[in-house]
Amino acid sequence: MDLDALKQAIQALPAPQRKELAIYLTHLELVDDSQYFETLRQRMNDQLDQSWIDIEEL
C-alpha cells in the first residue's frame, strides 16, 4: 500500500479510530526516541522552583 492510499484509508476511518491511530503513531515515535523517556524522567524529578512555572502564567 502506498502512502496516498494509506492516507485515504485513514481519512475514511471514523473519528474515534483516527484518534486511536494517532495515539499509536505517537507511541511509536516516542519509543524510537531513546532520549525521550530519560528527558521526561529528569523533568519529573526536577524539584527546583525555578524550573517550574505557575499554571496561571500559561
Confidence of residue 12 (pLDDT cuts 50, 70, 90): very high
The three-state secondary structure class of 53 is coil
More confident residue, 48 or 20: 20
- In a domain? residue 28: yes
Tally of domains within the chain: 1
27 within a domain of the structure (yes/no): yes
Q: Is residue 58 part of a domain?
A: no
Query: 34 pLDDT exceeds 80?
Result: no
Can you tell me the distance from the alpha carbon of 36 to that of 43, in angstroms, rounded to the nearest whole number?
11
Rounded Cα distance between 55 and 25, Å, is: 29
Range of the domain at 9: 3-49
Q: Is the residue at 21 inside a domain?
A: yes
